[in-house]
Amino acid sequence: MKFRKFTILNLKAAGSTNAEEVEVLFNLEHIISIKPIRISRPDKLLNGFWIRTTNGKKYHCSKIPDELLEVIGEKYQGAISIPLDTDEQPFQ
């Protein structure tokens, strides 16, 4: 068994934008897929990951172990800087 620490977002209520970050140990042998995603928070936009496990559960992760981050790419972790005037710029 290969247990590694992940930081998942625990949604407090369905449809809520508030979430707390919780550290969880996952067995790497039970992870089916890891997909880079963007996670919207009330105060910021984060790069994150969609983790799917063999039991069918899915998790939003804000941080994954360094050994997996090296394979996926470090550009997919952390906050995204967005200029405040983006709403006024035309869509391209």
pLDDT in tens, 5-54: 999 988 765 555 667 889 999 999 999 999 999 887 777 788 889 999 99
pLDDT value, residue 83? 60
Q: pLDDT per residue over 50-70, tens digit each?
A: 999 999 999 999 899 999 888
CA-CA distance, 92 to 51, in Å (whole number)? 31
Tell me, what amino acid is at 14?
Answer: A
CA-CA distance, 71 to 54, in Å (whole number)? 20
Q: Please check whether residue 60 is in contact with residue 40, taking contact to mean a CB–CB distance below 8 angstroms.
A: no
Tell me, what amino acid is at 82?
Answer: I
Model pTM? 0.71
How long, in residues, is the chain?
92
Cα-based distances in Å from 69 to 19, 84, 92 = 23, 29, 30
